Chain A
Amino acid sequence: MIRPHFPTRFLQWGTPMRERTSGRTVGGFRNLFLQGPAVTLLLLWMLVPLGMTLWFSFQRYNLINPMISGFAGWDNYTYLLTDPALWTAMGNTLLLVGWVLAISVIGGTLLAVLFQQEFFGRGIARLLVIAPFFVMPTVGALVWKNMLMHPVNGVFAWLSNLLGLPVIDWFSSMPLTSIIIIVSWQWMPFALLILLTAIQSLDDDQVEAARMDGAGPLAIFWFITLPHLKRAISVVIMIEMIFLLTIFAEIFVTTSGGPGLASTNLAYFIYIRALLDFDVGGASAGGVIAIILANIVAIFLIRTVAKNLET
């Protein structure tokens, strides 16, 4: 429900009529005819769920009590927007997206530079470092929950004991941080993968020219590698953001949004409304708010990314 919608202006219907040098017209009806089926399918795919969500968000619709029904007006929205839980969930969503983006992009860039160097067993090391991305979110989260972060059986607890440090009960004492760590672990390989391929296209001559100009490793990274990666980084940010706004499985199998609302993001909040409180109307209103929020983010993001890709 909270998939950021790309501005529809990207779906261009009637490109202005143009004439080829051969005299044949391109665009117009012919164009429409050919694009029609695909675009129609896409529109249906998008508009039907959107329309239903909008419709439900203005209905009194609770699965527990079918007697309550009918048009609700703005009640669902008023109720939702005055609920402090929504704002907590929004804040958590932003924190989650922001931190995971920061960790995965910065870590991914540094790892990409590292894995670009020649060292023994690089092929296998690259494979291993990318592996977390291929693990299902639920499975990954369960592994973290039961084998790494568990306060009794977990590796981290064992390590803490070994060092004589107090054991941390990750999911109850720092739930959002734990989820940020898990999600970063999952998404860093993606950033690494994209950035590594980008770094491989960096012209060796440029690096050598910089070396001749007196640039050390840090200066080469800062002045040559990083600007070269600019586009790839914006692509990574855009793609990751789309998926990170909808993180659900990791929260569901670890903290279930708790304790309290400490690790509830917008997606999980809507889930609570719809399938724990059975309040379809309220959940739909939450979905609409999420769509609006995602679109605001998407518009800014796509603008900056598009600008980046141009230059």
Chain B
Amino acid sequence: MATLQLNNIVKDFGGTQVIKGVDLEVKDREFVVFVGPSGCGKSTLMRMIAGLESTTSGDISIDGQRINDVGPADRGLAMVFQSYALYPHMTVEDNMGFSLRLAKVKKAERREKVLAAARILQLEPLLDRKPRALSGGQRQRVAIGRAIVRNPSIFLFDEPLSNLDAALRVQMRIELARLHEELDATMIYVTHDQIEAMTMADKIVVLQDGLVEQIGSPMELYHHPCNRFVAGFIGSPKMNFLDVEVREASSEGIDVALPGGDCRVPVDGSGISAGDTLTLGIRPEHLKLDDEGPLTGKIVVIERLGGVTSLYLEHGDSEWILVADGDVAHRVHDQVRFSFDPTCGHLFKGDGEALNHLHRHPLVDIDRKQNRVSSASDGQ
């Protein structure tokens, strides 16, 4: 239904730049997630797209039309707020139909549209209630319903799930994914929760300090983070980092020194010479307990989750997190050895930039849309 282009967007709040030149292309029917730590400017960016915040410089275009000077109501967008922002004195039906009422749509037609939206969200029995009489999840659904009724070209979600409890959040996440499929609309979603980002996005935009760090599919960010920030931000628990010395580097790979022997990481090492210091990054789930492993550590904390167990290890002044099988019988203070598959390792230069992997991960280009295409139709 709609595409969105951001062209070198800048936002200046009285001398402080919060958005420092963002370029972005959102394709039709894409689910794009802005993710980043607090204060990275993701909400501001969304509010600029919505028209609630002015743009200091740069162009925002929808379907090729520059909309910088178009008011929020006329951009054809709908926004779902973190606080839901329901009108407390109106019933659910009036809340959902408010935009139509302002647009002077006839009562019968209004009711029809509200009912259609309510049906999608299973809100029909609640239409006569006031927001006060609804639970958090129901309020959230009303807020989404209010957006649906407007039939917008792009849906904007500003951390819509962060006020819900954990179980409800999972449920709403699934519901939102289903909704995206059902409505087949372009959606932009802001969150600081990387699980929401990974599970729902076709495309993730990682922001930090008003700049885009990386744009890509969830699997691309996971397997090929372009710098240390993205590597640390995506994935839970956080990626382990260790400063290592280069033994030998070529375009076929880099040999780095580890306490228990050298190891070869398959990244493009052109421009790197022996003796340089790089940062090795390995995800906790790629470390495995191995009595022959090159690394050792003492267990400091054990978190048992049932299915998996997180071990927090200490070795000298380096700390490691290792996600092991749920059945490991180790105890705190045990000394363990562990290893990793070097193809899963990442190397980062001193400025944080990642060295390119020689092999692209096969799932990198898969997005949610392709998840939905059944394997059978692929001819497999």
On A, residues with C-beta under 8 Å from B are 203, 205-206, 208-215, 219, 223-224, 227-228, 230
30 A-B pairs whose Cβ atoms sit less than 8 Å apart in the complex? A203-B85, A205-B82, A205-B84, A206-B86, A206-B87, A208-B72, A208-B79, A208-B85, A209-B81, A209-B86, A211-B52, A211-B71, A211-B72, A212-B52, A212-B73, A212-B77, A212-B99, A213-B73, A213-B98, A213-B146, A213-B150, A214-B73, A214-B99, A214-B102, A215-B98, A215-B102, A223-B98, A227-B89, A228-B89, A230-B89
Known: A223-B87, A227-B89, A230-B89. A209 touches B102 (CB 8 A): no
Q: How far is the CA of A214 from the CA of B103 in the complex (A)?
A: 7
- Max chain B Cβ within 10 angstroms of own Cβ: one of A206, A208, A219, A224: A208
Q: Contact check: which of A205, A208, A210, A228 meets B98 at CB < 8 Å? A: A210
Write the nearest CB–CB distance from B2 to chain A, whole angstroms.
16
B91 within 8 A of A: no
Partner of A208, one of B77, B81, B103: B81
Indicate whether B185 reaches chain A with its CB closer than 8 angstroms: no
Contact B73 A205 (CB under 8 A): no
B354 on the interface (CB 8 Å rule)? no
Distance in angstroms between the alpha carbons of A203 and B84 in the assembled complex: 11
In the assembled complex, B83 has its CB within 8 A of some CB on chain A: yes
Chain B nearest CB: distance from A308 CB in Å?
Answer: 11
Query: Is the Cβ of A203 less than 8 Å from the Cβ of B83?
Result: yes
Distance A214 CA – B102 CA, assembled complex (angstroms):
7
Contact of B85 among A205, A214, A227 (CB under 8 A): A205
Mask, B92-109, CB within 8 Å of A = 1, is 000000110011000000
Of B78, B83, B85, the most chain A CB neighbours within 10 A belong to B85
A139 → chain B closest CB, angstroms? 41
Give Cα A205–Cα B159 distance, bound, in whole angstroms.
13
One of B79, B82, B84 near A212 (C-beta < 8 A): B79
Q: Cβ of A212 and Cβ of B83 under 8 Å apart? A: no
Bound: A224/B83 CA distance, A: 16
Within 8 A of A (CB), among B13-55: 50-52
Tell me, in angstroms, the Cα distance from A205 to B150 when the chains sit together: 18
Output the nearest chain A residue to B81 by Cβ-Cβ distance. A205
For window 251-272 of chain B, which residues contact chain A by CB distance below 8 Å?
A: none
Q: Does A219 contact B52, Cβ atoms closer than 8 Å? A: no
- Interface size, chain B (Cβ < 8 Å): 25
CB distance from B380 to the nearest CB of A (A): 45
Say how far A85's CB is from chain B's closest CB, in angstroms: 45
Measured in the bound complex, the distance between the Cα atoms of B128 and A26 in whole Å is 39
A227 to B88, CA, bound (A): 9
- For the complex, give the distance between the alpha carbons of A230 and B88 in Å: 12
What would 4 more interface pairs be, CB under 8 Å, given A209-B86, A215-B102? A205-B81, A210-B98, A213-B102, A215-B98
Please indicate the chain A residues that have their CB under 8 angstroms from the CB of B51 in the complex: 212
Contact across chains for B78 and A219 when beta carbons are under 8 A apart: no
Report which of B85, B102, B150 forms a contact with A206, defined as CB distance below 8 A: B85
Cβ of A225 to closest chain B Cβ, rounded Å: 11
Residue from B74, B77, B87, B99 whose CB has the most chain A CB atoms within 10 Å: B87
Residues of B within 8 A of A224 (CB): 87
Q: What is the chain A residue whose CB lies nearest that of B84?
A: A205
A209 with B79, Cβ < 8 A, contacts A214-B102, A223-B98 known:
yes
Contact call A210/B52, Cβ cutoff below 8 A:
no
A210–B82 CA distance with the chains assembled, in angstroms: 15
Shortest CB-to-CB span from B76 to chain A, Å, is 11
In the assembled complex, the CB of A102 is this many whole angstroms from the nearest CB of chain B, namely 23
Chain A residues with Cβ below 8 Å from B85 are 203, 205-206, 208-209
User: What is the distance, in angstroms, from A154's C-beta to the closest C-beta of chain B?
Assistant: 45
> How far apart are the CA atoms of A126 and B50 in the complex, in Å?
33
Which of chain A's residues have a CB closer than 8 A to the CB of B79? Answer: 208-209, 212
- Quick one: given A214-B99, A223-B98, are A205 and B89 in contact (CB under 8 Å)? no
CB distance from A214 to the nearest CB of B (A): 4
The residue in chain A whose Cβ has the minimal distance to the Cβ of B158 is: A205
* Chain A residues within 8 Å of B102, by CB: 213-215, 219
The closest CB in chain B to the CB of A209 belongs to B85
Nearest CB of B to A32, in Å: 36
Bound complex: CA A206 to CA B84 (Å): 8
Complex alpha-carbon distance, A213 and B99, angstroms: 5
A215 in contact with B73 (CB, 8 Å)? yes
Q: Could you say which residues of chain B place their CB within 8 Å of the CB of A210?
A: 87, 98
Q: Name the residue of chain A whose CB is nearest to the CB of B79.
A: A212
Residue contact B78 to A212, C-beta cutoff 8 Å: yes
Q: Give the CA-CA distance A203 to B83 in the complex, in Å.
A: 9
Residues of B contacting A213 in the complex (Cβ-Cβ under 8 angstroms): 73, 98-99, 102, 146, 150
CB proximity to A under 8 Å, residues B116-174: 146, 150
Nearest first, the 6 A-B pairs at minimum CB distance are A214-B73, A205-B85, A213-B99, A209-B85, A227-B89, A214-B102
CB-CB contacts of B210-230 with A at 8 A, as 1s and 0s?
000000000000000000000
Within the assembled complex, what's the spacing in Å between the Cα atoms of A211 and B103?
12
Give the complex CA separation of A203 and B51 in angstroms: 18
State in angstroms the CA–CA spacing of A214 and B105 once bound together. 13
| Chain B residues with CB under 8 A of A214 | 73-74, 99, 102-103
* Docked CA distance A223–B81 (Å): 19
Given known contacts A205-B81, A219-B102, A223-B98, A212 and B50 CB-to-CB distance under 8 angstroms = yes
Shortest Cβ distance from B99 into A: residue: A213
In the complex, are the beta carbons of B52 and A208 less than 8 A apart?
Answer: yes
The reply to whether A211 and B73 contact each other, CB–CB distance below 8 Å, is: yes
A213–B89 alpha-carbon span in the complex (Å) = 16
Q: How far is the CA of A74 from the CA of B238 in the complex (A)?
A: 91
Least CB distance, B113 to chain A, in whole angstroms: 13
A307 CB to nearest chain B CB (Å): 14
Among A209, A227, A228: residue with most chain B CB under 10 A: A209
Kindly list chain B residues whose C-beta atoms are within 8 Å of the C-beta of A219.
102
